[in-house]
A = this chain, B = another copy of it.
Amino acid sequence: MQALHTINDIRSALKQARRAVEQTKLTSTVGMIPTMGYLHEGHMSLIRRAKSECDLVVVSIFVNPLQFGPTEDFDKYPRDAERDLRLAEEAGADFVFMPSVQEMYPAPIKTKVIVTSITDVLCGASRPGHFDGVATVVTKLFHIVQPDQAYFGMKDAQQVAVIEQFTADLNSPVRIVRCETLREPDGLAMSSRNVYLNEEQRKQAVVLIETLRRIDDWVAEPGMTIEKLTQHIRGNIESAPLARIDYAEIRTYPGLEPVASMEEWHANQPILVALAVKFGGTRLIDNRIFG
């Protein structure tokens, strides 16, 4: 595995590696896993899947300042390059691209890739500009690496919807592969931000997945409505005393339109139930897609 820090280096390394593959096969395929580092088992499962489907696997590690708000955790976002390299290699990556902020933004950027409407809700509502930053940096990374497919975890379901939207709208040649959320043994969705949780918060954080798992039962109750279902969801989360709900919403997926009735729930599947809950200063998200 090679670690590369500049755009020129990753481009020429990939060119050479593709050429080597094409000595024996007609075409080469490159799979990419864009990450912000501090890799965990979730990222590793994406890398393993890419490795099983592509000739060459590139992991990018870049904590993108553009997608953090001024009061968010850009500076304290956890970083551990050495450990990341070890884990990426273990999972089967061929290249790790880890550019500096200076390499990615050598001058003030005047261009933005913006996605409208589906970015105004859920995480977009409380994190203005976040998805512009995501769409812009993912466009940059795709242009640098030029992968055939890119792998994203469904924990960030809205992010996946946004990335599918702009790659389709802009005719990007990159195929987006949705991958299932990986979970800790007690069900907590894996996230680099889980390290922020103290012991008591970590214990209570399991309420997100427990709530999502109870939805089938609630939906089966006679006379259920979207309003009541939302109340059940909120009530269940609030049973954890440290939980403060940012949002708990029911929407179509990937269009992220509101769902007005249980008739719509059954007719317009897939349906996303998306949660964002704060424990102290740490904001966790999780979701489940029905149908």
Contacts and interface: CB of A to CB of B under 8 A. Distances in A.
Contacts of A117: 110
Interface string A3-36: 0000100010000000000000000000000000
A139 B117 CA distance: 21
A165 B108 CA distance: 11
A143 B170 contact: yes
B173 A146 contact: yes
24 contacts: A7-B171, A109-B169, A110-B116, A110-B117, A110-B118, A110-B165, A110-B169, A111-B113, A111-B114, A111-B116, A111-B165, A111-B166, A111-B170, A112-B114, A113-B113, A136-B170, A139-B170, A140-B170, A140-B171, A143-B170, A143-B171, A143-B172, A143-B173, A146-B173
A166 to B, nearest CB: 4
A135 interface: yes
A166 B139 CA distance: 11
Contacts of A135: 111
Looking at chain A, what size class is its interface with the partner chain? 20 to 34
- Identical chains in the assembly: 2
Identify which of A11, A112, A116 gathers the most chain B CB atoms within 10 Å of its CB: A112
A117 B111 CA distance: 10
A114 B112 CA distance: 5
A64 to B, nearest CB: 13
Interface string A125-150: 00000000001100110011010000
Given A110-B115, A110-B116, A111-B115, 6 more contacts: A109-B169, A111-B116, A112-B114, A113-B113, A113-B170, A136-B170
Contact of A112 (B11, B116, B140): B116
Contacts of A118: 110
Nearest to A166: B111
A111 B136 CA distance: 11
Contacts of A109: 169
Interface in A146-192: 146, 165-166, 169-173
A113 B146 CA distance: 19
Interface string A207-248: 000000000000000000000000000000000000000000
